[in-house]
Amino acid sequence: MADLFGTPAPSSRPAGQDASAPQTARPLADRLRPKTLAEVVGQDHLTGPDGVLTRMLETGTLGSVIFWGPPGTGKTTVARLMAKEVDFGFEQISAIFSGVADLKKVFESARLRRANGRQTLLFVDEIHRFNRAQQDSFLPVMEDGTVVLIGATTENPSFELNAALLSRARVLTFQSHDHASLLQLLERAEAIEGRPLPVDEGAREILLRMADGDGRAILTLSEEIWRSARKGEVFTAEELVQVVQRRAPIYDKGQDGHYNLISALHKSVRGSDPDATLYYLCRMLDAGEDPLYLGRRLVRMAVEDIGLADPQALVVANAAKDAYDYLGSPEGELALAQAAVYLATAPKSNAVYTAYKAAMRTAREAGSLLPPRHILNAPTRLMQDEGYGRDYQYDHDQPEAFSGQDYFPEALGRQSFYRPVARGAEIAIGERMQRWAQLRRGKPER
């Protein structure tokens, strides 16, 4: 910086430091960015000695790939390092800010570079945000070798990317950082800062959990802690929460995070684990999920996985949904929790669910068969002459209020869909059905 008279001010930077990027001005995550694939943390299945990418680079068979994984796992960094390893030109665009015109410019630059004997690695961040037509524009330049494409996405490629694009690129999954790799990043940060993070052991564990598997997050949070700490101050867990506030969990209500957690909640109920059920219910509520959506899902669980083993389950689930609708937050969430625990601890049966699917399949395949005439009403003389309602037996007038008549279309014959399980209230239902079967066998066939 110059003074008012244009005289350059003396520099206080150490000799050899890049004047354009002072170390103290660069974010910690940028200063800790790996310089080789071997320095990448938490993705050994890709960048370790026997990793997929390591082998790909060693054999010189670099092809187009899709990096799929949560934020802060190193997708952009690994793409840059791959281009450096093979000495490719590196182009980076983001699908959030780029359009067709930007893609054309990148493709033209790649063609010029190729004409001069050098290949291009094109890194497309958030590639799932490109529409189908934009994704198709990559196909020709991938096929003729103009670019080697690396697309990065946090969403499931199977749902978000064209089948044609996926057929030309290998999908590699980046994993969330576990406790060990987050701790390794934190130790590297302390080494480059030359000082320990001013937190006690309890606060350090809370910090690791707050990062939620995101390497960039733990470095950003650490910077906030260093900025906030007064000289000699060491934060406890409670103080840490106040200092950095609280980083929201990674959760997109319309995407994978949502579907993964609702699947986990449903399977925990089905698996009769009330503790896991409460955990996933609270995960979703804490992340901002609509409680009424959860209420509706509990109703679904009641009819799919509990059914008539405990008919009260549906009543409880519906009551919890209505209770939340009446009370709102935060009181209404307790009703959802109570219903979730009830469902998890109830006897389980999918007999009605299975029977419904089998009956629907038969109904669709059998066509428009006429019900047997003896159970059809006959409001006109012509219908009476045709035999409608003839020989119908009113069940309440029969012994045990059971006539044993056949109600299926004659062309279809009697079917068996519902088979109650020997659990909960379905034990009694099964016994009644066995008795009716005995009575039916004693009746002459029509």
pLDDT in tens, 174-204: 998 988 999 999 999 999 999 999 999 988 9
Looking at the domain assignment, is residue 288 inside a domain? yes
Give me 218's structure tokens: 């733990």
In a domain, 353, yes or no: no
182: left (phi over 0), alpha (psi -120 to 50) or beta: alpha
Tally of structural domains, the chain: 4
Q: Say if residue 298 is in the same domain as residue 206.
A: no
Q: In terms of domains, do 185 and 220 share one?
A: yes
For residue 172, the 8-state DSSP code is: E
Same domain, 64 and 161: yes
In a domain, 264, yes or no: yes
CA–CA separation, 95 and 103 (whole Å): 10
Q: Let me know whether 169 and 85 are in one domain.
A: yes
Q: What is the distance between the alpha carbons of residues 111 and 115, in angstroms, rounded to a whole number? A: 6
DSSP one-letter code for 202? H
In a domain, 350, yes or no: no
> Quick one: 166 and 199 in the same domain?
no
Kindly report the CA angle at 378 between 372 and 382, in degrees rounded to 5?
A: 105
- Give the CATH number for residue 236: 1.10.8
Kindly state whether residues 48 and 115 are assigned to the same domain: yes
71 lies in the same domain as 161: yes
CATH of the domain at 276: 1.20.272.10
Do 151 and 66 belong together in one domain?
Answer: yes
CATH number of the domain to which 431 belongs: 1.10.3710.10
Residue 17 lies in a domain: no
Residue 136 sits in the same domain as residue 210:
no
26 domain-assigned: no
236 and 266 together in one domain: no
Q: Indicate whether 78 and 165 sit together in one domain.
A: yes
Residue at which a domain ends, from 196, 221, 244: 244
Radius of gyration of the chain (CA): 33
376 neighbors 390 (Cβ within 8 angstroms): no
254 near 264, Cβ under 8 Å?
no
Please identify every stretch of the chain with a pLDDT value under 70, giving residue numbers as ranges: 1-25, 246-256, 443-446
Q: What is the pLDDT of residue 391?
A: 87
- Of 82, 70, 168, 77, nearest to 119 by C-alpha is 82
Question: Does the residue 417 lie in any domain?
Answer: yes
Give the CA count within 13 Å in the CB-facing half-sphere of 333.
Answer: 13
Provide the domain limits for residue 427: 366-441
**What pLDDT sits at residue 252?**
58
Number of H helices, E strands in the chain: 21, 5
The continuous run of DSSP H or E covering 153 comes out as strand 148-153
Residue 358 domain-assigned (yes or no): no
Domain boundary at 146, 173, 200, which? Answer: 173
Question: How much is the pLDDT for 278?
Answer: 95
Edge-to-edge, what's the strand order for the sheet holding 89-94?
89-94, 120-125, 148-153, 65-68, 170-173
In 309-442, which ranges are E strands? none
Residues 168 and 183 in one domain: no
Last residue of some domain: 191, 224, 244?
Answer: 244
Beta-bridge partner residues of 67 = 152, 172
Any idea what the CATH number is for the domain that residue 96 is in?
3.40.50.300
